[in-house]
A and B are shown apart, each in its own frame.
Chain A
Amino acid sequence: MAENIEIKQAPEREAPRKESPEKEAEVKAKAPRIHTIEKKRSKIKIFDVVNYIVFGLLTLIIIFPIWKVICDSFNAVGVYQFKLWPTQPTIGGYATILKTAKLFRPLLNSFITTICGTLLGLVMATLGGYVLNQYEMPGRTFLSYFLLVTMIFSGGMIPEYLVMKKLGLVNNMWILVFKHGMNVYNLVLMKNFFEGIPASLYEAAKLDGCSPMQIFYKIVLPLSKAALASIGLMFAVTVWNDYSTVQIYITNRSQVNFQYMLRVMVMDGDTPTTSYKVSQSTLYYSGIVCAILPFMLAYPFLQKYFVTGVNVGAVKE
């Protein structure tokens, strides 16, 4: 049965391959003796080659814009050239960003808010996730519904804006920290992770005389390093990359983050300095590189953590 299908399909599958008739005859002659898989291996190749080429192109499509941006950020030539390396190398773009207070301040704001937002987010997600995992605690169901409602319904952009205004967070960069500090989705991820810690560990610790707090500090947290890393990264990416919050809440240029500054500079052509020694596009590309640099540097090393966060939540059955 298997043989039949093999032979019947062979001509069509092999059609695009130009091979000498002797070789083909040889393969066919060998076929009955050699295991089927052996024969298939030679046939599959064309599929593999096409597959590798297609994915090679795909990675090129992804990498090319990024590479072009990096390359042009070091290139002093303002006019477009189809070159894959800088023809007139310069670091003027970066120097301008670091020297211009109106560009450096947003960069600094981005770092401050990202660090604080990540810390706050982690504290909240860990506390909430751990408490929601206490199945003996009265009122636990109520608390989980209390959080759940916020995932389903929200007040909307304007009521939120009015509340933030009352709290004095409008025109204040700390809005970035507080807005992302409490993320119910990440809290649930954390809870799911805690659920995976074997109950026997808790019991053993309890027998050894640990209080619930001690269990939390001495057992749960050290075991959760990987989860903390991946959820922390999720928070960091969210805060660092947030542009719309700044767009809605902040108009004061000393409080904006770098994403906003970049957008204003590139899209609205509102460059905050005129003293740049390089061409305008070099400055823009340097800005883009600064905006992606932290995660591009961390990404190859921390990729595991970048990806596990999603898997914990999405595929857990």
Chain B
Amino acid sequence: MAKDVEEKTSSIKIQKKPLRLRIWNNRGFYLMFIPVFIFVLIMHYWPMLGVRYAFFSSKMVPGGGIKWTWVGAQHFINMFKEREFWMAFKNTLIISVVKLLLNTFVAVLISIFLNEMTSLVCKKFVQTVIYLPHFMSYAVVAAIFTLFLSPSSTGMINETLKDWGWIDKSIDFLHISSMWRPVFYIINLWKETGWGTVIFFATLSGISPELYEAAEIDGATRFQKMRYVTLPALSSTIIIVLILNLAKVLNIFEPVFVLYNNRVFDSSDVISTYVYRKTFMTAATDYGYSTAVGLFKSVVGCILMLGSNYASKKIRGRGII
């Protein structure tokens, strides 16, 4: 982004007018930007000032106020000592990364094989259908699968498995620690994989048909064409998708929050849900501590983001931000 800015400004320099005149000429645009500016200032920059609370301890004052006392880095020391925090950190990394790799892998598979489908009508139909779950909220998806996986007599999956004689007793999938993550991954595959193929299809539509023709003349079989033409064309997109999402691994909140419960904390609690619990579900809330955990998350997230931006620039010559 910065690069093309420079290029464009340098070409304009030739006919440069005095700064004051240029500002005056563009006054309408500044006026247009004012609402955006104020909005961003209040909704995004003001909270950033709030990170200073990470070094304070809060106490509720009767009458609705909050009293802040300076504690220095005490919250961070406490945080790093806390077992629950490290558990949440570990879970965040495992859940996000496995989910990302799984979703991307399946999305690539789907795109490659769907690309081989000859009937355009069928292709379009499959695309339409697999994009569908993306537009349902996590709350809805969680509600659907909670009802389906319910161990009671209304739970479709348990009842069906019992009918088929695969199990004798209902399994409470979402309340068993060892089952929770696989179920979570499957639900996420159902919801997001189809949508993940959009970007790969866009790339595939850009592959020149000449490449396939050339491969055909050289005697490539169907699988050889998929392996040596389609897959290499997708590889850079795959890397970009991974990088883009790697920058956001710590942000996972809603997908986990809607499905987890206190019986499976050890395998499902992630940093954001940990912050949420520490703030809104404990009796003596210390906003300072939650802010400190949030700050840690933001800083690591920031480093990841800049790192992926750098990697993206190296690989495709264009940053992600």
Contact = CB atoms under 8 A, between A and B. Distances in A.
Interface string A74-88: 000011101000000
Interface string A283-315: 011011001100110011001001100110011
A300 B132 CA distance: 9
A307 B2 CA distance: 28
Interface in B22-36: 22-23, 25-26, 28-30, 32-33, 35-36
B128 to A, nearest CB: 6
A244 B154 contact: no
B275 A135 contact: no
A3 to B, nearest CB: 8
Nearest to B16: A136
A195 B255 CA distance: 35
Nearest to A314: B199
Interface in B1-45: 1-2, 5, 8-9, 12, 19, 22-23, 25-26, 28-30, 32-33, 35-37, 39-40, 42-45
Interface string B104-116: 0000001001101
A259 B47 CA distance: 26
B279 interface: yes
Interface string A261-295: 01100110000000000000100110110011001
B287 interface: yes
Contact of B130 (A62, A292, A315): A62
B130 A263 contact: no
Interface stretch (B76-84, B94-102, B139-147): B139-147
Contacts of A137: 22, 26, 29-30
Interface string A190-228: 000000000000000000000111001000000000000
Contact of A213 (B28, B128, B253): B28
30 contacts: A5-B219, A37-B216, A51-B113, A65-B144, A68-B148, A80-B153, A82-B159, A151-B305, A153-B48, A153-B301, A153-B302, A155-B47, A155-B48, A157-B290, A158-B291, A159-B48, A162-B47, A162-B287, A212-B29, A243-B254, A247-B257, A248-B280, A263-B258, A285-B147, A288-B143, A291-B140, A295-B135, A299-B135, A303-B128, A306-B131
Q: Closest 7 A-B residue pairs measured CB to CB?
A: A159-B50, A156-B294, A155-B47, A241-B137, A2-B219, A243-B139, A150-B44
Given A139-B23, A156-B298, 10 more contacts: A3-B219, A48-B116, A58-B110, A134-B29, A135-B12, A143-B37, A156-B50, A157-B279, A300-B128, A303-B128
